[in-house]
Amino acid sequence: MMNKARVKKIVIILSYFLLFWIILPWAIIYSASLLDNKFHLTIPFSYLWLFAGSIIALFSTVMLFLSIFQLKKYGHGLPISALPPEKLAQKGVYAIWRHPVYLFFTLFFLGFAFITGSGSMLAIILPLLIVIETVYIKIEEKKLIIRYGEKFKYYRSTTSLIVPRLIHFLRALEHLPFKLMFSLKILNKENIPADSPFFLVSSHRNYFDPFFLIKIVNRPVHFVATFEIFRNPFSRFIFKKLHCIPKQRYCHDTASVKKIIELIDRDAVIGIFPEGERSWTGRIGTFKPEVLKLLREFRHIPVLPLKLEGNYAAWPRWGRNIRRANVSITIQKPYHIAEDLPLEKIEEQIKKMIEPDDAGRLCKSAKMAQDIRIVIYRCPICRSFEPMSIISNTSFECDNCRTVFSISPDYTIEYHDGSTKVNESIDSLYNKIKIQEKDIKPVSPGENTGIIIPDDLKGNFLAGCRKVFVYKERNNRLVKLFKGVLFLSNESLFLRNAHNRLHIDLKDITSITIESNYKLQIYNGSRGILYQLTFPDESALKWQDYIFKTINHEFSFYPNRR
């Protein structure tokens, strides 16, 4: 025999079903019919209205029952006030709409009005129903705030009532292109934590990485993003809608840390690329200390490591255009940081879980050599800084010694060093040509640099660039100062033209970062000023390496690097 509690539950469910799914719909339809006859509000028959109404009614019916099913599955309850859900449902349709049952119940009658040509349903009944539902939703949400607190406030702020947020349109729009361009595969979805918050952590080698990763979680992911994308009003609007957290890379940004802590308290998912920037060579870089400290501080929050592979072949940082390649995301098991674990150990363990293996990941596009000279900015044979020339889709040449380099679909580079044939990775070749301490030496008298060296720099001049655009940050905007010549000495950076001068002491530099591929941002920590140097003809990476090594040579520290 059934116990009293079970009998009571069945009676409640049957009563609600009878009232809200039989009597109420009948009353709405009957009222519309009476009003149509009384006021002659029928809509002339049209096959277009009939077709549109049928689609809306059918879609709404399916979504209505799906909403009830998912409320039971994810919330462990029913849309019945006497039997409320035990948990806040935030998955499935509830990740897109806060109250899908009300939404699709209303849409069903919109479709019914089109099918039957009921003008009163459109003009009177539906507006009245929407007003009643709006009032009821406000009352219900106040109760939900009492029940779930900040968790529901966050859910309400990130989930729409009617029109889905931009992120959901983006997920839908990117599905087909990502399948065609990247054959995107997502593995081990069962490892995604059932509840949040958690940290989503991956290597970063492609502009599209955040858009790859939002495919795995049907909830907002708050990616920590460079502040630069928020300087432009349009991109600021878009990335705010995508829930990104702006982070100034060149100084300690307390605002971003406070925002992350606030979101963690509200059970949000935080997306972090621990290197802080995209890799130039495909190899995972050193993690930022502030990221490791954050993960250790909130060690009660699980880390979900993601192994993102093939993304470097699809769009390397130095490449101008997207390329076809197979991309996959392997979702590792959640990682829990042990108490008092050293930062170095945390980095080592997470790196093992997210380190990509690109064996067999090939670039399927033709123009593989395009812009490779941004990262291979000097010849490994003659050591010349003369720009490399692109001579075909898959090869480039040193303008000084005429050595030809060929790039393969796996991004290995082949060339001849004398009689020896060399085949090495971009990472290996970059480390071979990278600025070394022996390169930091004053230009000899009479040496041709292509630049007229000012008298006050003779004997102390290391390197120069003929054309640089100089910007300065003012009120979170970058304002152009002038176009000039860049001079590097072992103590300072000088930027000059006929009318303007800018001098930056190397000892005052606390951060040097690259935005995009050609913008070098230098932060004068002693004065709290950010300068941006834009190189239209040379590699910004070369100049970052030059300044780093010069500072290291003179003062034995690396700004903003571990």
Predicted confidence at residue 557, as pLDDT, reads 38
| Torsion angle in degrees (nearest 10) through CA of 163, 198, 266, 293 | -130
User: Can you read off the two tokens belonging to residue 186?
Assistant: 């997502």
Do 550 and 462 meet the contact criterion of CB atoms below 8 Å apart?
yes
Question: Is the pLDDT confidence value at 14 over 90?
Answer: no
What is the rounded end-to-end Cα distance, in angstroms, of the chain? 70
Split at pLDDT 50, 70, 90, the class of 561 is very low
Split at pLDDT 50, 70, 90, the class of 465 is very high
Q: How many CA atoms lie within 13 A of 112 on its CB side?
A: 19
How far apart CA 443 and CA 451 sit, in angstroms, is 11
Predicted confidence at residue 456, as pLDDT, reads 76
- Average of pLDDT values for 463-478? 93
Do 355 and 411 meet the contact criterion of CB atoms below 8 Å apart?
no
Query: How far lies 344's CA from each of 199, 279, 283, 300, 366, in Å?
Result: 18, 20, 18, 19, 40
| pLDDT, tens only, 104-146 | 999 999 999 999 999 999 999 999 999 999 999 999 999 999 9
Predicted confidence at residue 39, as pLDDT, reads 84
Q: Are strands 412-417 and 404-407 parallel, antiparallel or unpaired?
A: antiparallel
Mean pLDDT of the chain: 90
Residue 196 CB neighbours (<10 A):
25
| pLDDT, tens only, 202-244 | 999 999 999 999 999 888 999 999 999 999 889 999 999 999 9
Predicted confidence at residue 2, as pLDDT, reads 57
Q: Are strands 303-309 and 328-331 parallel, antiparallel or unpaired?
A: antiparallel
How far apart CA 268 and CA 199 sit, in angstroms, is 9
> Helix, strand, or coil here: 100?
helix
| pLDDT, tens only, 324-349 | 999 999 999 999 999 889 999 999 99
Percent of the chain with pLDDT over 70: 97
pTM: 0.88
Domains of the chain (ranges plus CATH)? 19-158 (1.20.120.1630), 166-354 (3.40.1130.10), 372-434 (no CATH), 460-555 (2.30.29.30)
